[in-house]
Structure 1
Amino acid sequence: MPTASSVIEIPVSADQVWQLIGGFDSLPDWLPFIVKSEARDGGRVRHLQTADGAVIVERLQTFDNVARTYSYTIEQSPFPVSAYLATLQVEALTDTSAKVTWSGVFTPVAGTTDAQAEELFAGVYRGGLEALRANFPD
């Protein structure tokens, strides 16, 4: 199964980073590509609207506030993949430095190569983490 991931170091505590990104419905707070998020199904489903008007529906699969991580699947999106599972995790490097990892596994749909799907999500994750990092200026 194809995979993609991105990692970034942020010069604040892991708790500070998790406070911003730890809510499953918090993407518009730090990810400019997502302009709206509406929680449904008791907060386990988020209906997202992208800056270009596309709709993405994601379902929370696991959530661990202590370990500062959650995983989710995509139920509906414009992306050329199926069987998508992604994880967002924040780890403490020191008291004033955190490592954030965003990774996913997926199956490309017909007409999309593994490499194309991997490149797409590597770019999404990298751009997302760079946008997250911009929330914590040095």
Structure 2
Amino acid sequence: MASTTASIDLPLSPAAVWRLIGGFGSLPDWLPYIPQSELGEGGRTRRLTNEGGGTIVERLQSFDHTARSYTYAIEEAPFPVTGYLSTLTVHEVPGTPGASRVEWSGTFTPDGVSDREAEELFHGIYTDGLAALERTARK
């Protein structure tokens, strides 16, 4: 099993960042390469459409509003992995009032690629996504 984590510190309160990213259907609000998210099964699944028209289906595994965290699994996607499980969390930055740290992590089993290739793929997705979040949050 492979894994990767990316994080970014933002000059906004954790509550403000969570309001932006904490909804399971909120990716289009801050992630420009996901312009559409359709919730299903009472909000337990999301069908994402990327810029190229490709589809990714994800299932919410756990959601904790108080801890500002949710975990989801990929059910359908064009990625070379199986068993994908990811968590998005917003924390306070110790010693920096009014700042937040967003962490995006995932575990997965590479399928047809090396651990390193799969880790680089998702690390790039997480890093690019968090950079997009920073641009959106600063608007």
Under TM normalisation by the shorter chain, which class is it? Answer: over 0.9
> Residue 37 of structure 1 aligns with which residue?
37
Question: How many pairs were matched up?
Answer: 137
- 2-side partners of 1:62 and 1:81: how far apart? 21
4+ residue stretches of structure 1 with deviation over 2 A?
A: none
> Residue 137 of structure 1 aligns with which residue?
138
- 2-side partners of 1:12 and 1:95: how far apart? 9
Alignment of 1:30-109 (within 5 A): 30-93=30-93, 94-109=96-111
Residues 1:113 and 2:114 aligned together: yes
Alignment of 1:6-21 (within 5 A): 6-21=6-21
Determine helix, strand or coil for the equivalent of 2:124: helix
How far is 1:95 from its partner?
3.3
- 1-side partners of 2:92 and 2:43: how far apart? 26
Q: Give the % identical residues.
A: 52
TM-score (norm. length: structure 2) = 0.96
- TM-superposition CA deviations, 1:25-77 (whole Å, max 9, x none): 00000001101000000000000000011100000000000000000000000
> Residue 122 of structure 1 aligns with which residue?
123
